[in-house]
Amino acid sequence: MRILVTGGAGFIGSHTVVELQEAGHEPFVLDNLYNASEKVIGRVEAITGKKVPFYKVDIRDREGLNRVFDEVKPEAVIHFAGLKAVGESVRMPWEYYENNIGGTLTLVDVMRQHGCKNIIFSSSATVYGDPAFIPITEECPKGQCTNPYGWTKSMLEQILSDIQKADQEWNVVLLRYFNPIGAHKSGTIGENPNGIPNNLMPYITQVAVGKLEKLHVFGNDYDTPDGTGVRDYIHVVDLAKGHVCALKKLTPGSGLSIYNLGTGVGYSVLDIVKNFEAATGITIPYVIDPRRAGDIATCYSSADKAHEDLGWKAENGIREMCEDAWRWQSSNPNGYDD
Ligand code: NAD
Ligand code: UFG
């Protein structure tokens, strides 16, 4: 299938392009490089041995999109492009709504004008808010988001669902990711956060490589086994493969499909520290700090629906996630600048 991958130079997008090529699809990457390096493209090509056509275009640029659609003639779009920093979204809500929502509205309009009505959208477990029950199934009601980033995901789910309802030619897949970590086994592509990482695993790997002094654990008084927050960490390559499996829901009449992409297993912050230390032999010094605003105690998925409908299941365990995150970080201490 010819697939346009927006945000395909980013962390999850680049891993998905690898898996698409390995599965025999033809991905085309569109990215404005706001949070990515063009070097990713060469690294993906080195992994798969295939060319990756790349377009430096913004999803808010209607003319640019029209040119790409005229040339590529995609049958489907996997839509990763967007801003994703939770704290930044609180300080810059307009930029988040304009980029994520405005950009997606333009993209979807260009898609329908070109007769391409198949989209897989990157949503997030954040749409469940403080979840009504655990493990979280897709039937769990959506909740109150605690930041504008989360609201963009929740609102875009609604917008894409409404568009599909109004025009049955659309096939829409909403994938709700839990916490992607790890990196491709080659160690040549991985997560490359700007500045000090917000997320747990890149923070830990930067402590391990000596760029940061110690980990700050945000609260140890949650109602969890060891008091620290519990999340469903998923290897980014498994997550990427979930997109390949989800393509089967882009057939005529499929309509709207919603899936959690998680492992169904929860690990606490201290579990992650211990597993990282065991996988790498490196000690991670840490201090306990107050809770981070907006965090919840526990968030992990039921991954059954994706298994039953798509035949997809995460294969990598926590050890591989830690080993692979470390292989990437230790061989690229400065990300794509190395
Ligand atoms: P990322 O920042 O690495 O990738 C996003 C890519 O989109 C970047 O390469 C960026 O340059 C590009 N981009 C941003 N705005 C754009 C625009 N206007 N036009 C064109 N390109 C643009 O992030 P990621 O972790 O790979 O996340 C991919 C998607 O998955 C995002 O939509 C994110 O919100 C979602 N998601 C991520 C997580 C996570 O923990 N990483 C969890 C749930 C959902
Ligand atoms: N944590 C720390 N110290 C840190 C960073 C994180 O203790 O330096 C803790 C957090 O308090 C939380 C856990 O580690 O308990 C995971 O935090 P992350 O920031 O890595 O991930 P979140 O679960 O907060 O959020 C992530 C993405 C969101 C996405 C969500 C989906 O950042 O965009 O997963 O589940 F919506």
At 337 the pLDDT is 87
- CA 233/CA 272 separation, integer angstroms: 9
Give the largest Cα separation in the chain, rounded. Answer: 55
Distance set, CA 162 to CA 75, 97, 116, 124, 151 (Å): 21, 18, 17, 18, 16
Q: Judge whether 208 and 326 are in contact, CB under 8 Å.
A: yes
Q: CB of 28 closer than 6 A to ligand 1?
A: no
At 338 the pLDDT is 74
Atom 4 of ligand 2: nearest residue by CA position: 200
Query: Cβ atoms within 10 A of the Cβ of 238, count?
Result: 22
At 336 the pLDDT is 94
Query: pLDDT tens digits for 133-173?
Result: 999 999 999 999 999 999 999 999 999 999 999 999 999 99
Q: CB of 8 closer than 6 A to ligand 1?
A: no
At 189 the pLDDT is 98
At 235 the pLDDT is 98
Query: Cβ atoms within 10 A of the Cβ of 235, count?
Result: 25
Q: Which regions in the chain score pLDDT beneath 70?
A: none
For residue 232, the ligand 2 atom closest to its alpha carbon is: 35
At 309 the pLDDT is 98
Helix (H), strand (E) at residue 56: strand 54-56
Q: Judge whether 259 and 176 are in contact, CB under 8 Å.
A: yes
- 55 is known as an active-site residue: no
- CA 75/CA 137 separation, integer angstroms: 30
Of the residues 55, 96, 128, 149, only one is catalytic, namely 149
Atom 36 of ligand 2: nearest residue by CA position: 126
Q: CB of 180 closer than 6 A to ligand 1?
A: yes
At 27 the pLDDT is 99
